[in-house]
Amino acid sequence: MRYFGVIGSPIHHSLSPLIHNFLFSYLGISAHYDKFDIPSPSLLASTLQSLSGANITLPYKEEVFGLCDEVRGFAQEVEAVNTVLCRNQKLCGFNTDGLGFWECIKNLELKTALVLGAGGSARAIAMMLKKQGVDTMIYNRTPSKVDFFLSRGIGVLETLEVKEVDLLVHTTSVGLDGKSLPYQQEKLQSLVSKAKYVFDVIYPSQKGIVGIDQFRDFFLSRPKTAFLGLSSQGMDGLEMLLYQAFFAFEIFCDGQYCFEELKALFYNSLK
């Protein structure tokens, strides 16, 4: 039996165990996936080394980038890791957030984007948008945390100006309670009204979703996030969560199952 898990704090809302355990069991793989609430970064390395692989979430993606013995692909560009493979006590880091995000929006016609927030998810999203040729800017509450973006040629707004953009992406950690907004509501409302498409990385949380049947009900009738409550349209982060998980699962299984296969079998089980 191989052991995997999602590491972060807080972690109680995570749906990753449900997704990965469903796939392991459906595919007959002898493996189990758990949640690890790690209150201090000092416990990260030993927890990672006790597992075959892991996903990393808030607030440790950048910390784990520094802990990895090797970092591959897009994770090198974003300097943040959300997926780790552990072999012979050596940690190899990947980032599947950017790919998961792109899968959600790749069919939209986009020339410009504004990303709100400058944390790990903002890095992956802004870098992926730039890579795909979308003219991308960011805005963050704390101006001193935007150097990463400036050094990669991503524009930074010093104040939250109301601009017309094709895509507005919310990536702050505010809103997990389903009510709070990161900035003044009127300003956000104006921004949302000027955007062609709106995306919130946050997804609504609901206690007690333990099996695929409960997940199906939640998936089909989930409430709007606080940020999407400002808009008549928009996508929340639930499909991005699924897609980044399918890309991570592909890594956990050494490519034995590909993203499209995993997506098809998971979505078929939601019908």
Query: Is residue 237 near ligand NDP by the rule CB under 6 A?
Result: yes
Question: Among the options 61, 130, 163, 179, which is catalytic?
Answer: 61
Shorter beta-carbon distance to ligand NDP: residue 88 or 186: 186
In DSSP terms, 37 is beta-bridged to 8
- CB-nearer residue toward ligand NDP: 112 or 173: 173
Our finding on whether 58 is near ligand NDP (CB under 6 A) is yes
Question: Does residue number 225 form part of the binding site for ligand NDP (CB under 6 A)?
Answer: no
Q: Beta-strand (E) ranges in the chain? A: 2-8, 31-37, 53-56, 70-71, 83-87, 90-94, 112-116, 135-139, 155-156, 165-170, 195-200
Report the alpha-carbon distance of residue 171 to residue 181 in Å, rounded: 11
| Nearest-approach distance from CB 201 to ligand NDP, in angstroms | 4
Is residue 83 close enough to count as binding ligand NDP by CB under 6 A? no
Region of 24-32, 112-120, 148-156, 226-234 interacting with ligand NDP (CB under 6 A): 112-120
Minimum gap (Å) between residue 242 Cβ and ligand NDP = 8
Which residue number, 176 or 212, has a Cβ lying nearer to ligand NDP?
A: 176
Number of H helices, E strands in the chain: 11, 11
Residue least distant from ligand NDP (Cβ): 119
201-225 as b/e: b if 16+ CB within 10 A = bbbbbeeebeebeebeebbeeeeeb
State how far the Cα of 260 lies from the Cα of 124, in Å rounded to an integer.
21
Residue 119 interacting with ligand NDP (CB under 6 A): yes
- Does 141 participate in binding ligand NDP (rule CB under 6 A)? yes
Say how many Å lie between the first and final Cα of the chain, rounded: 30
* Position among 5, 120, 204, 234 found at the interface with ligand NDP (CB under 6 A): 120
Q: Check: CB of residue 93 under 8 Å from CB of residue 64.
A: yes
CA atoms within 13 A on the CB side of 129: 29
- The region of 38-46, 156-164, 171-179, 226-234 touching ligand NDP under the rule CB under 6 A is 171-179
CA 113 to chain centre: 18
Contacts (Cβ under 8 Å, ≥6 apart) of 238: 203, 204, 219, 222
Candidate segments 25-33, 57-65, 161-169, 248-256, binder of ligand NDP by CB under 6 A: 57-65
Assess whether 61 carries a catalytic annotation: yes
Establish if 18 lies at the interface with ligand NDP (CB under 6 A). no
DSSP state of 36: E
CB of 190 to ligand NDP, least distance (A): 17
User: How far is 194 from 211, CA to CA, in rounded Å?
Assistant: 39
- Residue 250 CB, nearest approach to ligand NDP (Å): 16
| Candidate residues 23, 24, 55, 61; the one interacting with ligand NDP per rule CB under 6 A | 61
Catalytic residue positions, numbered: 61
Binding residues vs ligand NDP (CB under 6 A): 58-59, 61, 97, 100, 117-122, 140-142, 145, 171-174, 176, 182, 201-203, 237, 240-241, 244
